Structure 1
Amino acid sequence: MRSDISFTVSPGDRQRLRAIVADPMSPQKHVWRARIVLLSGEDLGTSAIMAATATSKTCVWRWQERFMHEGVDGLLRDRSRPPGKAPVPPERVAEIIRLTQAPPPHEATHWTLGAMAKVAGIAASTAQGIWKAHGLSPHRWRQFKLSNDPKFADKLTAIVGLYVDPPAHAVVLSVDETSQIQALDRTQPGLAHEEGPGRHDDPR
């Protein structure tokens, strides 16, 4: 063992450790942790324990040290990891979508991640994740169109949800724009058809 690690495996601990190894329902990570301590209690060296348990030197030392400080219970418990970012509340997401629909401040031509982060009080990475999840690309201002429908966020969420998590046994079909005609160009109503000279619509 490492020079700063020293412990004795008591008969009670040895019994618990052997039970963990013998139990077919024990997670494998618990089995080899228990074996490391059992072999350590038999005064085997680090190299021998590594070979017997197919683990690294640092792994052997880690679980020897854990047992020294926390006993058998410490072998069965993983260290807690720092919590991840809390999810953005749905009403906050809806507000960011609403802001994306509105003109950006300071007479800018389009929203940027930095501008949205500052106005909405969120991280730029969070704004990027919301835009990506909802298919929003306001920085592509030459092609991107924003609806002024007050229920745009609700409809967008419903459509995106249909693709991401469709109902059971459902078939989701997508119909693209007509070839050579993009809906992005249809920002103004079409002009009424006018007959030119010599043109007639009479089927006769």
Structure 2
Amino acid sequence: MSRGPKAVAPDLSENEHAALQRLLRRHGTGQALAQRVRIILACAQPEATNLGVAAVLGVGRQTVALWRSRFAAHRLEGLVDAPRPGAPRSIGDEAVERVITLTLEEAPNNATHWSTRTMARRTGMSQTAVSRIWRAFGLRPHQAETFKLSSDPAFVEKVRDVVGLYLAPPDRALVLCVDEKPQIQAAQGTAPTFPLRPGQPERATHDDRRHGTLDLFAALDVKAGTVIGCCEQRHRSVEFRKFLEQVDSSVEPELEVHLVLDNLKTHKTQLVHDWLVRHPRVHLHFTPTSASWLNLVECWFAVLSRRRLQRSAFTSTADLEAAIQGYIAETNAHPKPFVWTKTADEVLANVARFCKQISNSDH
């Protein structure tokens, strides 16, 4: 049984067909418009039905019928969203542009950056309107970030070396990211913490009692996501060599060991060098100076701090060490690798692009 009148083919002209193809190829075309263009091109095929086009493109039959009829009535203009109902805009494009220009190019008197209130007073808008404009254009004047560029003369070579280990590790070898997290405080508040309650966050005192510090040595298995770790009172080359012994005994003897680590002096002492001579299967790969973001164990340190250390109370260094070892055990029981995705060329291109931006800055 027929479900309605037979769908009429769009009968595209050569110019219309070319215009639709250009829309599909253009990078700036939105997904919604691109889907409508594909619907019209499919409907232009001989014997194309709404149901058949819907099945091929994975959309509803009513959607195909809607855009087929809109195109038949208004041609290319019919593929654009119709004006939506509601009150007209009360803030014009010129006012929006003024807010953006002021935000990006000027600063308020007696302040380093704009707030929604100061901008509202300057432009005569409401604070809510300023907030909506900033959100729409991704402007956050209250936020600031810091950066540091590596001055290592071997920056390019070290990036390629470390990233190459992440993306294409050698056969029959284990890649470990090694670093120290020094001066972890065993501290507790001067008063008990008030627990979380409905309508009230957890509350703790701003000051604390300190019971000593520990230094954590950790080696993250890049492929497996497991961690080898130990806590020491200090982080000299003596403790680092002891940790290397622990790493060496934890890895199967038939595997080569590649360690990614930073340029700390304790990693390059004669004591460590002599140990490496006696253990030729262990190879060190140094990240560039001021480029700790290349060492994936830093990601694990951040997770450890956020999930286990920041809001905990420790009455002694033994209590702190037990908490750290417990978290390491939990990590190894349910490992989740930190997967590196960018190639060395992509990393270097990003750094070069950023260097070009700051070199062209007026500041």
CA radius of gyration, larger in: 1
TM-score higher than 0.5 here?
Answer: no
Q: TM-score band, normalised by the shorter chain?
A: 0.3 to 0.5
- TM-score, scaled relative to structure 2: 0.23
